[in-house]
Structure 1
Amino acid sequence: MDLRQLRYFIAIVDEGSFTAAAQKLNVAQPALSHNMRNLEADLGVKLLTRGVHGVKPTSAGTKLYEHAEVILRHVAQATEQIRNYSGAPSGAVTIGLTSSVALVAAVPLVQAVRIELPQVSLRVVEAFSGTILEWLNDDRLDFGCLYDVTRSRSFLAEPLVREELYLICPPGEGGDDITFEELAGKDLILPSRPHNLRDRVERGARETCTVINVAVEINGLPQIKALVAKGVGYSVLPISAVMEEWRAGLVSARLIVTPYLHRSVHLCSPRGTPATEAASAVRAIFVRVVHDLVSSGVWPSVLLLDNEEPS
């Protein structure tokens, strides 16, 4: 097994075709097929199957694909880290953001990176916190954002901000603060389990002995906001997630009190994997962007110190 074979293998799986992979890699298709036969012979297992819907990985091929991505990523990181000693940070950086964090921070982050690190290729992936956690554990991200992180052996976590949660209401139904017990009887629109927001609401229900009614489970932030705006029900979100709709009068918001509901956003990176110069530079910009967003009121939240844990 060598790096070229792994690159060929990943391209075939991604493209679902030997022909398309050969075109993408700019190599002859017979050479591609020859390398895959040698790889399968060396490993003693079939990696790819051909069918009417194209080329698919076997179960062994799927596992190799996961390892190959990590191996090639580490090789690229090592190469970039050494090259960066001679100049400005360069190379690829991949970060994972949850939907609500991406909504407020992704655009200013990309703008700042493009201006300050023109040689860095930034990839921002938006996903649920559970998926980001999986990618961090698999070492597929340079860093990512997670909520309410406890100590972990697999990654390092730096607290960033703490957000208060609001009851998001249809337009015209705003008002004063609302106690958690007053959520009883309201048709709630929430993500399905497991999801940090759903967990936080259900924990509040247990703490206050409140029976909540989850009328709709849906895992898309745009869809949740649209349903609330149409009067289908209510949701629980940080105000930053609905800032545009709230200011436009499309939804209303009431701060949840007694108890206050909040969650902490942590910046997490794989433990034991040296960060490239490019990843370190992007991370520093991200932290600065977050501080600027909070200080200017664009991201209504409270900054957390490095040694501060969520309460």
Structure 2
Amino acid sequence: MNLRQLRYFVRVIEAGSMTRAAEQLHVAQTALGMQIRQIEEDLGVALLVRHSRGVEPTKAGHLLHERANAILKLVEQTRRDVAECERDDSETIRFGITPALMLSIGTELAVTVRQQLPQVFLSMAEAMSHVLVDMLARQELDYILCYDVPDRSGLVRTALLQDDLVLASLPGPRPAGAPIAFVDMLDETLAMPEAGDTVRAVVARTAQELGLELTVAYEVRSVAAMKNLVLRGAASSVLPYFSIVDEVKSGTLDARPIVMPALRRTLFLACATSAGPFRNEAGLAGAVRASLTGLIAVLGPLAQPLWPRTA
């Protein structure tokens, strides 16, 4: 007598009919009948009384039905308990990251976490920095990696690096990568994200501090859309260097450092005080720093790491 036979027997009793039970089990009635007869032969007792209306359990059949239900429930609970033992050390972390960082280090971060923290399931979502901060506050995310996270109650933030923004434009007669003064940058036809974005905020704040006016010709949230506007020659855009490094290397875009003053942002890893604590938070922070190493190398003098690094 095996588990499949017990399931078949329970279904026959509950259906009250071999025909209905066979239909519900999607097996042939003759095959079902053979399974029931095998149980009866194994136990040496009759389990069913067959009549024109269907079947009814004998006294032995009632007992087997009761015990079979208990056995099947115990088997299912055991299966769940055993599976849960394997998941005791597992942890799902909802991780928010900006679109530009997702393109630059998202794959590296995902692979690093899987290799170094196999017990962690990293669920990654991308959005602009200010959107990620709001999602973290609403407990829709557990950690965020984004820029200029505000110092507010309920958030714990760790500064990782500072990097300077550049002006993305089409190559021109000037030397590639020639710096541009902030005041001259404001004379460009600019494509920028909406007012809440950190890039837009640092440009607007700097302009206000200098008594200058910021005029935005194209307001778009997508980094890809801003790059396309620049590639078309319709606008220039203030962007992190790592978001256009491939286009700079291919010669289709020019990245001009912005000076007098430089436009500098701070990258934070942040979480909410109401979340966790997570068992693997130290490992996650290490994986994030490891993933940023290549980005720092790409940024060169435009980046300044804010954590101790060994040679």
TM-score, normalised to structure 2, is 0.66
What is the aligned partner in structure 2 of residue 13 from structure 1?
Answer: none
From the CA coordinates, give the structure whose radius of gyration is larger: 2
What is the aligned partner in structure 2 of residue 289 from structure 1?
Answer: 291
What is the aligned partner in structure 2 of residue 183 from structure 1?
Answer: 185
Indicate how the Cα distance of structure 1 residues 175 and 120 shifts in structure 2: closer, same or farther if over 3 A, else same. closer
* Amino acid of the structure 1 residue aligned with 2:219: E
> Any stretches of 5+ residues in structure 2 without a counterpart?
1-83
**Cα separation, 1, equivalents of 2:187 and 2:287:** 44
How far is the alpha carbon of 1:283 from its aligned partner? Answer: 2.8
Q: Does 2:96 match 1:91?
A: no
**Cα separation, 2, equivalents of 1:200 and 1:141:** 25
Which string of whole-angstrom CA distances, capped at 9 and with x for unpartnered residues, describes residues 27-74 of structure 1? xxxxxxxxxxxxxxxxxxxxxxxxxxxxxxxxxxxxxxxxxxxxxxxx
How far is the alpha carbon of 1:298 from its aligned partner? Answer: 6.0
What is the aligned partner in structure 2 of residue 241 from structure 1?
Answer: 243
**Cα separation, 1, equivalents of 2:200 and 2:275:** 32
What is the aligned partner in structure 1 of residue 109 from structure 2?
Answer: 109
What is the aligned partner in structure 2 of residue 250 from structure 1?
Answer: 252
**Cα separation, 2, equivalents of 1:207 and 1:163:** 20
What is the aligned partner in structure 1 of residue 118 from structure 2?
Answer: 118
2:270 match: secondary structure: strand
Indicate how the Cα distance of structure 1 residues 293 and 146 shifts in structure 2: closer, same or farther if over 3 A, else same. closer
**Cα separation, 2, equivalents of 1:278 and 1:211:** 46
Matches within 5 A, 1:11-160: 83-84=88-89, 90-160=90-160
Question: Quick check: 1:142–1:279 contact (8 Å CA) kept in 2?
Answer: no
How far is the alpha carbon of 1:204 from its aligned partner? Answer: 1.8
Matches within 5 A, 1:258-273: 258-273=260-275
What is the aligned partner in structure 1 of residue 230 from structure 2?
Answer: 228
Regions of 4+ moved over 4 Å: none
2:194 match: secondary structure: coil
**Cα separation, 2, equivalents of 1:157 and 1:305:** 13
How far is the alpha carbon of 1:292 from its aligned partner? Answer: 4.7
How far is the alpha carbon of 1:129 from its aligned partner? Answer: 1.6
The count of residues paired between Structure 1 and Structure 2 equals: 222
Question: Quick check: 1:161–1:301 contact (8 Å CA) kept in 2?
Answer: yes
Q: Which moved more, 1:90-99 or 1:254-263?
A: 90-99
1:203 match: secondary structure: helix
What is the aligned partner in structure 2 of residue 170 from structure 1?
Answer: 170
How far is the alpha carbon of 1:213 from its aligned partner? Answer: 2.7
Which string of whole-angstrom CA distances, capped at 9 and with x for unpartnered residues, describes residues 186-225 of structure 1? 1000011111111111112112233333111111000101
Question: Quick check: 1:169–1:234 contact (8 Å CA) kept in 2?
Answer: yes
* Amino acid of the structure 1 residue aligned with 2:213: V
Question: Quick check: 1:171–1:229 contact (8 Å CA) kept in 2?
Answer: no
TM-score, normalised to structure 1, is 0.66
What is the aligned partner in structure 1 of residue 219 from structure 2?
Answer: 217
Indicate how the Cα distance of structure 1 residues 95 and 229 shifts in structure 2: closer, same or farther if over 3 A, else same. same
Indicate how the Cα distance of structure 1 residues 177 and 207 shifts in structure 2: closer, same or farther if over 3 A, else same. same
